[in-house]
Structure 1
Amino acid sequence: GEWNTYEIRVEGERLRVWLNGVKINDFTNTDPARSLRDGHVGIQNHGADDQVSFRDIRIKELPVHGD
C-alpha cells in the first residue's frame, strides 16, 4: 500500500539501482551477448494475479563526459 522510489542508472555496461535512496545493486555486465548499451526498457515482470501500479516514470539521457 505504499509507493517506492527507484532510480536505475545505466552507464555503458554498468547498471546501478537505488531503492528509496539506498543503493541495492551495482552490476557491471561482461557478457557481450547481453550488452546494456542498446535495447529495451522493461518496467517490471509479475505473475498474472499480481496488481502493480506505476507513476511519474521518467527517462533521462545522461550527459557524455569527455576525458
Structure 2
Amino acid sequence: MVTPKAPNPKIPMREAGSGTEVVAAGSKKAIEKLLAFVRLKDAKESVGEESGKLPLLTNVR
C-alpha cells in the first residue's frame, strides 16, 4: 500500500495512474466497490459495439 507523506493523501496518490490508489487509505469495502465498478466498466468496454449490448447499456434514459 502507498503511504502518503503529504498532508493531503490524494495529491501524491493521483500520480499513480490507475485510480485505485486514491482509496487505498479507505475501508476494504470501499476498495471492493471501486474494483467492482472498474470491472463492470471494463466488461462494458470489452463487449463493444459489435454485439449491440453496449448501446443498450449506455443509451437508456
TM-score by length of 1: 0.18
Q: Which structure dedicates a bigger proportion of its chain to strand?
A: 1
Please identify the structure whose Cα radius of gyration is greater.
2
TM-score by length of 2: 0.19
